[in-house]
Amino acid sequence: MSKVSHAYSADNPPFAHHWQAWSELLSAGLQDDGWQWDWTAAGSVRPAGKPARARVIAKSPGVWAADGLIEALNRHPWAELGGSRIVARGRVKDGAALRPGETVCEWRGPAQLVLAFERPFLNLASYAGGIATLTRQYVDAVRAACPRQTPRVTSTRKTLPGYRDIAIRAVQAGGGFSHRISLSGGVLIKENHIAAAGGIARAIEGVRAIAPHSLRIEIEVRDGKELAQAIAAGAEVVMLDNFTPAQVAVALERVRKLPRRPVLEVSGGLTLSNIAQYAQPGVDILSVGSLTHSAKAIDLSLLVGG
């Protein structure tokens, strides 16, 4: 299996144009706020097109993961008032480590619009930064524990509807990888599929009969017996689900003896406190659902003036 040393860098983004997803979420945030009826801004900012400058600053350490959001703001159809529009300029790149007090981007434009976009922008940037920050912590812990054969740290499909794309970008900015973009992006036979099919062999046989030839077949196993069945049925990727570190070591020893071993993924119950125990040479993937469902947002603030 080919190894990838680093998933993402600011100089080599996985996709250059992903601002559309951000733009849709900005629109949703503005609509939730009822921004057209902002009595506070309408009364305190006169005239309506009064120009303003603002800075988004980091108030906590973290990892930036919202370059696409800045581009979305610059392109957003609602960011224009009376022929003048918000122009935002990033000061850091996706994947950059943030220091408290650091300016991450600068805005200029109509003050009323700056105030309208403030909260939706900060909410989204803080959310993505939290995912990138947590991912970086996991990636650093895995690299320290297993520097020569470092497993990939991947996210899972545990994302909120509508937020999938920016969550995946944030994981990449933190140095991680996505698992499957969607159900169509890969084959993963889980315990409920096995139960519905009537066994591991039947599930693999059925999927192999219809899946595109370019997709590898991955199956989840819960113990050594199921691992043996998956290997016998020709699974190309095996997910060791909720194994202990000792059980992972036994599974690694078993597959090392095979003429052609499957890719091994470890999943279930992985935390920052135990991830190093699972980062064993020979483990290819460590999948962590908490990257996207339990990350704490980073603290960002927008200040007008200066």
Give the active site residues.
Answer: 119, 158, 190, 220, 241
| Structure-block tokens of residue 276 | 């190093």
CA pair distance 73, 245, nearest whole angstrom: 46
Between the alpha carbon of residue 294 and those of residues 29, 67, 151, 155, 280, the distances in Å are 21, 22, 21, 12, 25
CA 187 to chain centre: 20
Measured distance CA(43)–CA(45) in Å, rounded = 6
The answer to whether the beta carbons of residues 272 and 139 sit under 8 Å apart is no
Distance CA 28, CA 95 (A): 26
Query: Within its chain, how far is the Cα of 71 from the centroid?
Result: 19
Helix (H, G, I), strand (E, B), or coil: what is residue 124? helix
| CB 131 within 8 Å of CB 174 | yes
Residue 58: which of 91, 18, 26, 29 has the closest Cα? 91
Length of the chain: 306
Comparing CA positions, the residue from 39, 37, 114 lying closest to residue 78 is 114
How far apart are the C-alpha atoms of 55 and 94, rounded to whole Å?
A: 17
| Longest CA pairwise span in the chain (Å) | 76
Q: Directed axis angle between helix 111-145 and helix 19-33, to 10°?
A: 130
